[in-house]
A and B are shown apart, each in its own frame.
Chain A
Amino acid sequence: MTPLIEAPSERLLAGIKLLLASKGIATAEEIAERMAQTDRASPAQGARMVARAWTDPEYRALLLRDGAQAAEALGITMRGLPPLGVLENTVDTHNLVVCTLCSCYPRAVLGYPPFWFKSPGYRARAIRDPRAVLAEFGTALPDGQRIRVVDSTADYRWMVLPQRPVGTDGWDADRLAALLREGDMIGVTVPSAA
């Protein structure tokens, strides 16, 4: 490995940008456009999907069968992106997603992975001691609910479909979506109407 790539990171980025621009591979405009496009993905997208699934049984079935199609159905572009799998939380089972090898994350529907998802502590501990990890997020599961940890190692990306909180009868999808945080759709937290 050449020591050139050990240059200070800001300088390395500047040098790579010069070369990619001069070779017509990535211009400053393309980079700006890409950043704007990436910034548009956020947990609000996943929240819309979850809220729709809570209020529309047909959509719920589609979401659990093919997450990417369900995202497309709400206008979220999934072309060229990894397949999206959806893990359904039930009274019996709570799902938690981790990527122990790197940081695979359902970016199309949740945006950039949060800092904690990429941290060694989360990557090492979520798979081995998920209850302790949940406790650090202030999450305590009901007695008797099993925890399934999904290690996102390969070609799929995984999001969690949380259980609809009690006390939300009659709420419309927008109001339900506003309850949801990114951690609810990874499984470190659970939504609450309280």
Chain B
Amino acid sequence: MSQSEPSDTSEHPRAHHDMGGVPKFLCEPIDTEAHALTPFDREVDAIRGILGAKSVMSVDELRRGIEAIPEADYARLSYYQRWIRSIADNLLARGVISEAELRAALEQA
């Protein structure tokens, strides 16, 4: 059994999504109001569900992709904006779509 004290967590590189007890958010009031989802939010959510059900992308891969978003963008983007970025990242990483295809689709969209 180790008797050593746990290391001071402030010395370690906490990932920015790992928010439990983090001082910078402790004074942030909680917005307890209901916020209706937008059509964008619901579509992104549905696409994630389909990709999961068809084993194209797991929820763990979705999370990995969200966590890979740089901190400033993570803070700026809405919840489902992070999701669609992670979905695109994962579809590229898995080779489901290619960069050339995505570039062309973005021009068409």
Say whether A and B bind each other. yes
Chain A 104-143 interface mask (CB, 8 Å, partner B; 1/0): 0000000010111011111111011100010011000000
User: Which residue of chain B is the closest to A118 with respect to CB atoms?
Assistant: B79
Chain B 40-59 interface mask (CB, 8 Å, partner A; 1/0): 10111111011101101000
User: Which residue of chain A is the closest to B21 with respect to CB atoms?
Assistant: A128
Question: When the two chains form the complex, which single residue of A2, A16, A31, A125 contacts B28, counting CB atoms closer than 8 Å?
Answer: A125
Report whether B28 and A15 are in contact in the complex, using a CB–CB cutoff of 8 Å: no
Q: Contacts A30-B50, A119-B31; is A100 near B19 (CB within 8 Å)?
A: yes
Taking CB atoms and an 8 Å cut-off, the chain A residues in 1-26 that contact chain B are 1-2, 4-7, 9-20, 23, 25-26
User: Which residue of chain B is the closest to A102 with respect to CB atoms?
Assistant: B63
Report whether B42 and A15 are in contact in the complex, using a CB–CB cutoff of 8 Å: no
Report whether B92 and A5 are in contact in the complex, using a CB–CB cutoff of 8 Å: yes
Which A residues touch B37, using CB under 8 A? 112
B33 interface residue (CB < 8 Å to A): yes
Report whether A13 and B44 are in contact in the complex, using a CB–CB cutoff of 8 Å: yes
How many residue pairs bridge A and B at CB < 8 Å? 166
Question: How many B residues touch A, CB cutoff 8 Å?
Answer: 58
Which B residues touch A120, using CB under 8 A? 19, 25, 28, 75
Whole-angstrom CA separation of A12 from B84 in the bound complex: 7
Report whether A16 and B31 are in contact in the complex, using a CB–CB cutoff of 8 Å: no
Whole-angstrom CA separation of A45 from B24 in the bound complex: 36
A101 interface residue (CB < 8 Å to B): yes
Which A residues touch B44, using CB under 8 A? 13
User: Which residue of chain A is the closest to B52 with respect to CB atoms?
Assistant: A80
6 other contacts beyond A112-B45, A115-B31, A125-B28, with CB at 8 A cut-off? Answer: A19-B102, A35-B42, A101-B20, A116-B31, A124-B25, A136-B32
Chain B contacts to A: CB under 8 angstroms:
17-22, 24-26, 28-35, 37, 40, 42-47, 49-51, 53-54, 56, 63, 66, 68, 73, 75, 77-81, 84-85, 87-89, 91-92, 96-97, 99, 101-103, 105-106, 108-109
Chain A contacts to B: CB under 8 angstroms:
1-2, 4-7, 9-20, 23, 25-26, 30-32, 34-35, 38-39, 80, 98, 100-103, 112, 114-116, 118-125, 127-129, 133, 136-137, 151, 188
What are 27 A-B pairs with beta-carbon distances under 8 A?
A1-B68, A4-B92, A4-B106, A9-B77, A9-B84, A10-B40, A11-B106, A12-B85, A13-B43, A14-B105, A14-B109, A15-B106, A26-B54, A39-B42, A80-B53, A103-B79, A112-B45, A116-B30, A116-B33, A119-B28, A121-B28, A121-B30, A121-B31, A123-B19, A124-B24, A124-B28, A127-B20
